[in-house]
Chains A and B, each alone.
Chain A
Amino acid sequence: EPEVTQTPSHQVTQMGQEVILRCVPISNHLYFYWYRQILGQKVEFLVSFYNNEISEKSEIFDDQFSVERPDGSNFTLKIRSTKLEDSAMYFCASSVQGHGLSNQPQHFGDGTRLSIL
């Protein structure tokens, strides 16, 4: 069964440093997402991406965050200057369709644990 893959599985970074999290969505999927889950809290939406642009973003996704699809397969999340509160599990997801009444589910990768020191 095709799956979303994420690298690295664990990233440890000093506060203030830039970090790039990588994802390879399922190959025929057109919509891509990033979510995060702070330890002990619920999963929170960050951003969705379609047709090479952001289609929706949350209040969490401020100017320190950016996303990119640099080639035909990778989808990346960059945090420009990390803060302690960015420590969380970051999940990438993808779906065949996204908008409107689509009931197409989103499939999640196994996450990158980001630890900011």
Chain B
Amino acid sequence: RKEVEQDPGPFNVPEGATVAFNCTYSNSASQSFFWYRQDCRKEPKLLMSVYSSGNEDGRFTAQLNRASQYISLLIRDSKLSDSATYLCVVKAAGNKLTFGGGTRVLVKP
């Protein structure tokens, strides 16, 4: 089983619509969770950290379900600039970040 698993997509989303997707992780000792976004051939950029109680940052909402070992990201009122690959990232007690393969989102006018 992959350490961090994501639906690769693409999710084709009309501008203004809502899109949501999940990721699952296999290591029950994982402690920290993040969503990064990556544009084509660019570096991963932190979108948001994910907290146990769930958290929101503008149009983005992240949820964590430790029992089922999954994390979700919801994007409301999608903009064309939201088109990117969204990386689910997990950290256990050490230093290393473990990345999922990414979910590609394409927002279309």
Contacts and interface: CB of A to CB of B under 8 A. Distances in A.
Interface of A: 31, 33, 35, 41-45, 48, 50, 55-56, 58, 89, 91, 93, 98-103, 105-111
Nearest to A103: B32
Given A102-B32, A110-B43, A111-B43, A58 B96 contact: yes
Contact of B97 (A41, A45, A89, A111): A45
Nearest to A91: B43
Query: Interface SS of chain B: helix, strand, loop or mixed?
Result: loop
Interface residues of B, number: 23
Nearest to A105: B46
Interface of B: 31-32, 34, 38, 41-46, 49, 51, 87, 93-102
13 contacts: A35-B97, A43-B38, A50-B95, A55-B94, A55-B95, A56-B94, A56-B96, A93-B97, A98-B95, A101-B93, A103-B49, A108-B45, A110-B43
